[in-house]
Amino acid sequence: MDYLEERNPFFGVRKEKVTTESGLEIPNKVALVNEDLSTIVGFVSPGYDVVHNETISNLFAGAISDLKVAKVVDHMDATTKRWKRRIMFDDGKLTSQIADTSDVVGVLLEVYNGYDGRTAYGYSLMGYRWLCSNGLVMGKKELFSQSFTHYDGNVDKLRDSFGMKFNAFHQNANTWQEWSRTRFNEDDFTAFVDKHTKPVNGRALKNQYLTPNIGKGIKENFQPLLAQQNLPFTKWGAFNVLTWLATHETKARNGSNLFSNRYQNMNRLAGDFYSGEESKALVLR
């Protein structure tokens, strides 16, 4: 089920002075306040230029006005300081059929903005598997993402930026086509997950970020999820196990799961699946 954001992502933001308990003003610092909830969403310098979520929404709406949109879902973190809007397209130009499967994958545009003084606005492109609503990470993040330090309101520049990345989406779909013909069994999946799981004892390597319990749970889900989604023992099947877990089995205590540590780790694991260093697999011919 899609996340339902009940809070208003287009709340007003005002600046307020920051003082000590005794009333002394703290120089070179102001608070950003959510006017709907009267809560603080960030601390910034007095000259910080606030770019509102609604401004970013309107900019992107103009840039994609020639594309058919199927669904829009908003997400915010627990404090409302970070916002993401996921836009699913239902447009033939942005759709790929995965060979030897019944899968159709479209493009998901994830727009983001923040009020914490550190989060610039920008976007990421992902795939979207229509059969199960999985969001699919695509290859190297830098090929499918772009952030902007300063707001200029240039719709044409943003539209041109999309064009290059939409082309990269179709190239990435070729990778998925190959994966649909590449054997990947439970031993292969176990080896991949174990490579990114922290040891019970000793120092973890940089690429080991899953706890042993989480790693165990991911491996236990491999065969049941393949059966549930009617997927074969291929790299495409294994990849969709990871993306299903990221999409459907991550939660945040408050706010959207997209900002939870569990989601970030699962999304990272799905991204690492592109590294080419997984255990050896046999291409079906």
111 and 57 share one domain:
yes
Matching residue, tokens 């040891």? 199
Which of the pair, 207 or 118, is modelled with greater confidence? 207
Mean pLDDT in residue range 122-134: 85
**pLDDT confidence of residue 2:** 63
pLDDT > 90? residue 164:
no
pTM here is 0.88
**pLDDT confidence of residue 283:** 47
**Residue that is last in its domain, among 157, 174, 191:** 174
In a domain, 189, yes or no: yes
**pLDDT confidence of residue 282:** 44
Residues contacting 73, CB < 8 A, separation 6+: 2, 3, 5, 85, 86, 88
**pLDDT confidence of residue 137:** 77
**Residue that is last in its domain, among 106, 139, 174:** 174
- What are 190-218's pLDDT values in tens digits? 999 999 999 999 899 999 999 999 999 99
Sign of CA dihedral 218, 223, 228, 229: positive
CB atoms within 10 A of CB 39: 14
- What are 129-162's pLDDT values in tens digits? 887 777 777 766 666 889 998 899 999 999 999 8
CA distance 76 to 116: 13
222 and 124 share one domain:
no
Proportion of the chain above pLDDT 70, given as a percent:
94
**pLDDT confidence of residue 277:** 42
Phi, psi (rounded to 5 degrees) for 91: -135, 130
- What are 234-267's pLDDT values in tens digits? 999 999 999 999 988 888 888 999 999 999 999 9
154 and 219 share one domain:
no
**pLDDT confidence of residue 141:** 66
Counting the structural domains of the chain, the total is 2
CA distance 241 to 247: 10
In a domain, 81, yes or no: yes
132 and 96 share one domain:
yes
- What are 24-63's pLDDT values in tens digits? 999 999 999 999 999 999 999 999 999 999 999 999 999 9
